[in-house]
Amino acid sequence: MSDRSDAPTTVIRLDDYRPPAWTVEHVALVFDLGIDRTEVDATLQMVRAAGDEPIRLNGEGLELLELSVDDRRLVEGEYILANGLLEIAVDAEHCTLRTKVALRPAENTALEGLYLSGSRESGFLLTQCEAEGFRHITFFPDRPDVLSRYTVTLRADRQRFPVLLAGGNPDGSGELPDGRHWARFVDPHPKASYLFAVVAGRLERISRDYTTADGRAVALHVWAEADVIDRCDYAMDSLVRSMQWDERTYGRNYDLDVFHVVATHDFNMGAMENKGLNIFNAKYLLADPDSSTDDEYRHVEAVVAHEYFHNWSGNRVTCRDWFQLSLKEGLTVFREQSFSADMNSAPLKRIEDVALLRRAQFPEDAGPLSHPVRPSQYSEINNFYTATVYEKGSELVRMLAGRLGTEGFRRGMDLYFDRHDGQAATIEDFIEALGDANDIDLSSYLAWYGQAGTPRLTAEGRFDPAQRQYRLTLRQRTPATAGQPTKQALPIPVRLSLFDRSGRALPLRLEDEARAEGTERTVVLDTAEQHYVFEDIDAAPVPSLLRGFSAPVILECDYQPEDLAILLRHDPDGFNRWEAGQQLAGLAYDDCRDARADGPALLAWTGALAELFADASLDDALLAELLTPPGEIELVERQAERDPDRIRAARQAMLLALALRVGAAPLRVRYEALRASTSAAMDATSQARRQLKRRVLDLLALIDAPLATTFALAQYEQAPGMTDRLAALATLATVAPEQAIAPIAHFRRRYEGNALALDKWFAMQAQLPGADALARVQALEGDPSFMLKNPNRVQSLVGTFARSNPTGFHRADGAAYRWLADRLVAVDGLNPQVAARVATAFNGWKRLEPTRREAAHAVVAELAARKDLSRDLTDILGRVAL
C-alpha cells in the first residue's frame, strides 16, 4: 500500500530527470508462492552506467531476508534501507546482487504488486506493476528506463496453484517434492519492470493457434475462472482481429511464442499490457449476450486491441520516464480508436470518442486537476492515468497523423519503431521520427504536450458581395489553468468546408491561388489570429469548421440556428452532421434555460430532427446519436455558475419539446417497428436498432408515460439480451418507479453471482436523478453483494453516483458530499488508487452556485487537512482544494 501522507511528500520533476547510474542486464526471479506468504529470490546482474554513485534499489513493504553482493552476504551497516530505498556502495563496474524477500499477498488490498484475486479458498494470485508496483515485489531500480531480460521461475503447491504463468516463452516445468511443482519462463526482449507479470492459481483457458504475417507460430490463450470461461470467445476473436490489423496497418508482428490474456474481477484499472501476459479487469474481457450490453461488446474489442497494440507502442518502445506516459498511452489510444473505426462505423466511432473527450477531458482541463498531456511534475504518478494523458494525448497524435496523411504517418511510425526499438523514448523522439521520415519540422506541435487547458477557437465570417469574397477570421486563446497563468498560441489544424444555403459544398480557392482545390481543406492557425479569404463566393456561405474534430478545442462561432440546421440536414459526413446538431442543441438549450419556449434555436433543432426522424434512409445508429443532445455534464460549460437542478430542468425541457415536435404517433410507430425486428444478433444493424429503440422509448416516455411504461415492462420481460433488458429497466425506473420495483428485484435475483451484471444493476440505480438519489444509494450499500474492497463494485455504485448523477450528488444541502467523504476515507484504508479516482468527482466544485460551492468546499477542505490519508488521495484532495 502507498505511504500515508504523514510521510514526506516528494515532488518529482521532469526537469530533474537523470539517466540511471546502474542498470540491470538480466534478472532471475524465483517465487515460492503462497497466499499468506510468498518468498522472492532475485538475482540481478548490475552494470554501472555512469558516475560513481551507489546502487539504489526501490522496495516497499518488503521483508528483507537476505542480501548479498557477488556471493558475499551483507550485514547491517553495509547497506542503508530507508524511505523505500535500499542503498549499497559498490566499488566495481558490475556485480551480481541477490536479495531474498517475503511478501504477504492476502493482505494486499491496494491491488498493486502481488495480490490475491477472489477468495482465499478459490482465488488466484496475480501481479500489477504499472506504474511502480514492481518495488512491492522485489528490490529493483523500478523506473521505466531500466530495461532488463527476465528469467522467472515459479514454485507452488500443485493442487492449489495448478496453473503457473509469467511473461515470456515457456522454458521448462516439472515436479518438486511435497506436491509442489515449478515452471520457468524466459523473456528474450529486454523490458521495463512495470511490464513484469505472474499469475498462479486455478484457471481455465481457451486457446487458438495463430501464425503472424512474418511466419511465427503463436499459441494464444485466454484464461479465466471456471464459471466465466465460456464468456471469453469474443475476447479471443477480438485479439485475432487486433493482431491481423496491426500487421496490415502498421506492419507490426507479435514477437513471442505464446500470448496470454487473463481475466480478474479485482483490478484497479481497465487492463494491463504486461509483456506476453496481459491482465484484464473482467469487465473488459468477458462478454455474452445475456449479461453484456452492446456497448460492452465494443469496449471488450477496443480494450483487447489497446493492450495488444501496446506490445509495440509501449513495450518494444517504452517511456523514458513517467512524464512521457502519453507517448505510449496517447499513441495506443489513437491506434485503438483507428482499429475500432475500421472494425465498426468510422463516423459513429468518432462521435463516441469526441463525446467522451468532452464529457471526461474538457472538465478535467477546466478545473483544478488540469495538467498538460506531458505533466511537468507529480507527487503520485498513479493519479496521472487521466483523460488528458489518454484521450487528449490521442487527439494530439491524430493531429500529427492528419498533418502527414496516411502514408506519411506510416512512414513516420516505421521510423519511430525502427529507431527506438528496445529503447525508452521521449515525446521529442516520437515527433522527431515522424518529422524526419517526412522531411517536415513538426516541433511546433510539442507545445501541445506542455500546455494545459482547452483552447478556444473563435471564428468570424464576413461575406463581401461586391468582391465575391468570404473572409474568415480565426482566433485562438487558452484560458489560464492551475499553475500555468500564461498561454502561447498552438498550431491548430482547422479542416473546413463552405456550404451554400441549399447544402452544396463550394469549391475552395484562397485569394492567392490560381484555381480551386476541392471542397474541403485544412488550414493551420498557428498564431493568435489569422484571416483567410475565399474567392468566387456568390452568397453568404455556411462554414463547416473543425471537420472530423480536427483539433481538441472549443469552437465559438456565432452561428445562426438556420445555418446549423443546414449542416445538420445536408452535411454528407455523419460526424459533421452530428457536430452541427450538437452545436444547435447547445443553442436550443440556451433557449430552454432562458425560458424561450419558441426560441429560434429550439425551433430549428426540433424541426430539423423531426424531419430527419421521418427520413427512412438515415442510419438508425446515427439517428439515435442525433436525437441525443449534449449531456448534463457538458452543458455545465454554458453557464457561469452551475446549478445541476436547473441544468437538468432545461435539458429535460428541450427533450420534451423534441418529443412533442416529432409526435407521439410517429414515436409509437417507430418503437413498434423496431421492436418487431428485435433479435439477439450482434451485427451492427441489430445493435443500431436497439440503440434507436431506446432513444425513441425515452422520448415517448416524456409525452405518453403510461404507454412507455407498458412498452418498457414488456421489453424487460421479452428482452433477448442485456442491452434491451437494462434499457427497459432504466426507463421504467425513471418513468414509473413504482412499477420498476418488481423488475429491479427480479434482475437482482436473476443475476445473483454474476458480478458484472450486478455492477450494472448498481450503476443503473446510482444514476437515477433527483433528491432521493442519495437515500437510494445508501440503501444499495446494504445489499449483501456490495463491498468496498472490490474496485468495480465501488466504481459502479459510489463512482457512478458521484460522477454521473449531477442532481443527486450535488444536492443543495451538501449531504452527498459528506457521504462521499466518509466513503473515500473508508475506501482509502483499503485501496488508495480507487479512493483517489473517485475523489476526482470533486473536481468542478468551484464553479457550483454559492450554496453548493460552500457545502462542497467545507467537505473538501476538511478532507484535505487530514493527515491519515494515502499519498494518492492526499494528492488529489490537495490539488482539488486549491
Closest to ligand 0A1 by CB, 272 vs 821, is: 272
Binding mask 652-681 for Zn ion (x = CB under 5 A): ------------------------------
Cα dist. 533→511, 539, 546 in Å? 6, 14, 17
Q: Which three cell numbers stand for residue 242?
A: 487486433
Q: Which does 270 bind (CB under 5 to 8 A by kind): Zn ion, ligand 0A1, none?
A: ligand 0A1
Q: Which does 385 bind (CB under 5 to 8 A by kind): ligand 0A1, Zn ion, none?
A: ligand 0A1
Selected binder of ligand 0A1 within 55, 67, 166, 272 (CB under 6 A):
272
Closest to Zn ion by CB, 131 vs 164, is: 131
Helix (H) or strand (E) holding 135: none
Let me know if 76 is a catalytic residue: no
Q: Which does 268 bind (CB under 5 to 8 A by kind): ligand 0A1, Zn ion, none?
A: ligand 0A1
Minimum Å distance from CB 137 to ligand 0A1? 14
CA distance 366 to 846: 11
Is 273 a binder of ligand 0A1 (CB under 6 A)? yes
Q: Which does 272 bind (CB under 5 to 8 A by kind): Zn ion, ligand 0A1, none?
A: ligand 0A1
Phi, then psi, of 209 in degrees rounded to 5: -90, 140
Minimum Å distance from CB 307 to Zn ion? 7
- Of the candidates 307, 336, 432, 634, the residue annotated as catalytic is 307
725-758 core/surface letters (b: 16 or more CB in 10 A; e: else): bbbbbbbbbbbbeeebeebbeebeeebeebbbbb
Closest to ligand 0A1 by CB, 630 vs 832, is: 832
Selected binder of ligand 0A1 within 329, 364, 625, 724 (CB under 6 A):
329
Three-state DSSP at 520 gives coil
Minimum Å distance from CB 315 to Zn ion? 11
CA distance 199 to 166: 6
The neighbour count for residue 145, using CB atoms within 10 Å, is: 20
Is 307 a binder of ligand 0A1 (CB under 6 A)? yes
Selected binder of ligand 0A1 within 234, 259, 309, 385 (CB under 6 A):
385
The residue number with the shortest CB distance to ligand 0A1 is 269
Binding mask 790-829 for ligand 0A1 (x = CB under 6 A): ----------------------------------------
Minimum Å distance from CB 306 to Zn ion? 6
Q: Which three cell numbers stand for residue 505?
A: 459544398
Minimum Å distance from CB 270 to ligand 0A1? 6
Give, as ranges, the residues between 127 and 166 that touch ligand 0A1 (CB under 6 A): 128, 130
Give, as ranges, the residues between 312 and 351 that touch Zn ion (CB under 5 A): 329, 332
Closest to Zn ion by CB, 324 vs 583, is: 324
Binding mask 830-849 for ligand 0A1 (x = CB under 6 A): ---x----------------
Closest to ligand 0A1 by CB, 262 vs 269, is: 269
Minimum Å distance from CB 220 to Zn ion? 20
Cα dist. 527→234, 473, 532 in Å? 48, 12, 13
Selected binder of ligand 0A1 within 116, 200, 262, 271 (CB under 6 A):
271
Which residue is listed with cell 490474456? 261
Closest to Zn ion by CB, 397 vs 740, is: 397
CA distance 90 to 79: 10
Selected binder of ligand 0A1 within 40, 269, 389, 452 (CB under 6 A):
269
In 250-325, beta strands by DSSP E: 258-264, 271-272, 277-281, 317-319
Q: Which amino acid is at 261?
A: V
625-655 core/surface letters (b: 16 or more CB in 10 A; e: else): bbbbbbebbbbbbebeebbbbebbebbebbb
Q: Which does 590 bind (CB under 5 to 8 A by kind): Zn ion, ligand 0A1, none?
A: none
Q: Which three cell numbers stand for residue 186?
A: 524466459
571 touches 509 (CB < 8 A): no
Three-state DSSP at 16 gives helix
Give, as ranges, the residues between 227 and 266 that touch ligand 0A1 (CB under 6 A): none
Three-state DSSP at 778 gives helix
Minimum Å distance from CB 115 to ligand 0A1? 12
662-699 core/surface letters (b: 16 or more CB in 10 A; e: else): bebeebbebbeebbeebeeeeebebbbbbbbbbbbbbb
CA dihedral 12→14→15→17, nearest 10 degrees, is 80
Residues whose CB falls within 8 Å of the CB of residue 498, separated by 6 or more in sequence, listed in order: 470, 505, 506, 508, 519, 534, 537, 541, 542, 543, 544
Q: State the DSSP code for 6.
A: T
Q: Which does 271 bind (CB under 5 to 8 A by kind): Zn ion, ligand 0A1, none?
A: ligand 0A1
Classify residue 518 as left (phi > 0), alpha (psi -120 to 50) or beta.
left
Any idea what the Cα angle at residue 39 is, between residues 311 and 144, rounded to 5°? 30
Closest to Zn ion by CB, 297 vs 334, is: 334
Is 268 a binder of ligand 0A1 (CB under 6 A)? yes
Binding span for ligand 0A1 by CB under 6 A among 271-279, 485-493, 519-527, 558-566: 271-279
Query: Site residues (CB under 5 A) for Zn ion?
Result: 329, 332
- Active-site residues, by number, are 307
Query: Site residues (CB under 6 A) for ligand 0A1?
Result: 128, 130, 268-273, 306-307, 329, 382, 385, 833
